[in-house]
């Protein structure tokens, strides 16, 4: 596993690491994107499936195993991250492989449906499963002539399937037509596998590539036949209706698809270019030009730089940036000291390369130089309920996603404005009342508060560690259902 901190921490959960007599499987995870990639080895030949852009850990891991990377496989052209297949292939000499109908602008093997790729003494069998995208394919590990595991990419997740609305423009098909293809791919290809075949998905819970992906990292086909709604005995029309009922995808998704189609800039070159320490004077000068000041600090009790937006490392920094800002957005960074490069890597993972540098010495350096600071009013839940919880001049703002509203309801009377819509719905948010902004954990609320600060709002409170569940339980509030 690769954690969001960048430190390798290999998964030890059952089946996430498998050692067979003539094969070895290792799952890598980037939890902040809900993304899984895989190392498979047999007789010292290895394949990497769906590598992240920061590819170094795969090479290091291969070296510890004394193996040679023979293939780098993309299950499809990813939308939620920039893949590291080009750099990895250049460095290792591995062959890039994609499934049928892949349209790309670099040299690669376009595999055929049911083709066998030899890896040591085992095989990877290509299953073309269009629907999420036209080139979407699964790769079945065949050991001793028997299907052992399937690496399903975004075709099948735990308790969910890949969203069918991302390839309409490139394929010329409607979302409904793509959903129809996915319906038949699942039934004609994946459901024909034996129940004991292990399922290794491309994403886990938290990824925007599926509507409601279940928790966990691995499963089996048999388990998913029981738990996954998409594999039940439903009609094609029912499947299309459910699978296309989706929130809008993050705006950066289409940018990343194009980067993965044409080939992204060399990671080391772009990283050296954008990892630039800025003096206080240079930082102030660039900030005055209207760029995004991205504050990635986890704790902001000392305040924030005026005009900055706080999206913490603890939160899903890359996803939030990709939802809120366009890929060509100019960015300067304020990070906790020692975490500047981590912030940069997480932006580069989603193809945000217009980074002008980071403030040397961070927030403390800004304060020492007399920079203007704005405060976030952060209080304990009990203090808030005792003093302002019943005030008529108080308004709750729920900035969670629509699917969360429908699942758990809202605090009665709340303004329902998802985080990604805050700046477009400022006319709905009063400036003459105290605002309490809440979400599920507090991360989105804090980001929303800093956005509102930029637009002149100042009378609000943020409740520490208090999402909807805490507020409801502590104050015995009956939630309001949202259809």
| CA–CA separation, 94 and 325 (whole Å) | 35
> Hey, is 33 helix, strand or coil?
helix
Nearest to 55 by CA among 111, 94, 99, 107: 94
Q: Which residues contact 130 (CB under 8 A, 6 or more apart)?
A: 101, 136, 178, 181, 182, 185
| CA–CA separation, 217 and 206 (whole Å) | 12
* Catalytic pick among 4, 138, 209, 439: 439
Angle at 172 between CA 171 and CA 178, to 5 degrees: 65
Got the DSSP string for 100-122?
Answer: TT---SS--EEPPTTPEEEETTE
CA 349: distance to chain centroid? 10
> What are the Cα distances from residue 193, in Å, to 39, 147, 199?
22, 8, 10
| CA–CA separation, 252 and 325 (whole Å) | 8
Q: Which two tokens stand for residue 245?
A: 């009922």
The number of beta carbons lying within 10 Å of the beta carbon of residue 242 is: 15
Give just the sign of the alpha carbon dihedral 421, 423, 428, 434: positive
| Catalytic (active site) residue 4 | no
Q: In 70-165, where does DSSP find H-type helix?
A: 85-92
Catalytic positions:
439
């Amino acid at each position: 596993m690769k954690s969001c901190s960048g430190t390798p921490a290999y998964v030890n959960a059952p089946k996430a690491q498998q050692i067979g007599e003539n094969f070895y499987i290792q799952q890598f995870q980037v939890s902040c994107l809900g993304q899984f990639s895989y190392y498979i080895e047999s007789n010292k030949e290895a394949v990497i499936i769906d590598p992240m852009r920061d590819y170094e850990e795969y090479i290091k891991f291969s070296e510890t195993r004394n193996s040679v990377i023979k293939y780098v496989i993309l299950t499809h052209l990813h939308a939620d991250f920039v893949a590291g297949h080009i750099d990895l292939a250049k460095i290792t000499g591995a062959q890039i492989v994609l499934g049928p109908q892949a349209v790309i602008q670099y040299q690669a093997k376009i595999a055929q449906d049911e083709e066998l790729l030899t890896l040591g003494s085992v095989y990877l069998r290509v299953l073309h499963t269009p629907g999420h995208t036209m080139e979407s394919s699964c790769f079945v590990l065949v050991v001793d002539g028997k299907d052992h595991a399937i690496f399903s990419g975004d075709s099948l997740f735990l308790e969910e399937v890949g969203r069918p609305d991302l390839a309409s423009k490139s394929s010329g098909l409607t979302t409904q037509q793509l959903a129809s293809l996915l319906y038949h791919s699942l039934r004609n290809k994946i459901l024909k596998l034996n129940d004991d075949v292990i399922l290794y998905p491309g994403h886990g819970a938290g990824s925007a590539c599926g509507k409601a992906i279940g928790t966990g990292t691995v499963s089996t086909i048999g388990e998913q036949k029981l738990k996954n709604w998409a594999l039940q005995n439903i009609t094609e029309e029912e499947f299309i209706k459910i699978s296309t009922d989706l929130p809008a995808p993050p705006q950066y998704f289409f940018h990343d698809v194009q980067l993965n189609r044409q080939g992204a800039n060399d990671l080391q070159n772009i990283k050296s270019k954008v990892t630039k320490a800025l003096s206080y004077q240079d930082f102030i000068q660039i900030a005055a030009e209207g760029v995004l000041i991205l504050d990635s600090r986890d704790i902001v009790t000392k305040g924030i730089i005026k005009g900055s937006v706080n999206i913490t490392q603890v939160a899903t920094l890359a996803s939030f940036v990709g939802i809120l800002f366009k890929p060509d957005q100019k960015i300067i960074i304020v990070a906790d000291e020692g975490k500047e490069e981590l912030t940069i890597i997480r932006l580069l993972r989603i193809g945000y390369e217009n980074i002008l540098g980071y403030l040397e010495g961070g927030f403390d350096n800004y304060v020492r130089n007399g920079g203007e600071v704005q405060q976030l009013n952060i209080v304990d839940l009990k203090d808030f309920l005792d003093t302002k919880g019943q005030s008529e001049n108080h308004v709750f703002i729920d900035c969670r996603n629509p699917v969360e509203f429908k699942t758990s309801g809202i605090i009665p009377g709340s303004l329902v404005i998802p985080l990604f819509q805050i700046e477009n719905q400022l006319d709905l948010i009063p400036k003459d009342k105290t605002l309490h902004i809440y979400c599920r954990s507090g991360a989105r609320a804090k980001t929303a508060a800093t956005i509102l600060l930029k637009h002149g709002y100042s009378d609000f409170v943020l409740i520490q560690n208090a999402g909807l569940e805490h507020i409801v339980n502590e104050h015995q509030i009956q939630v309001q259902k949202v259809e």
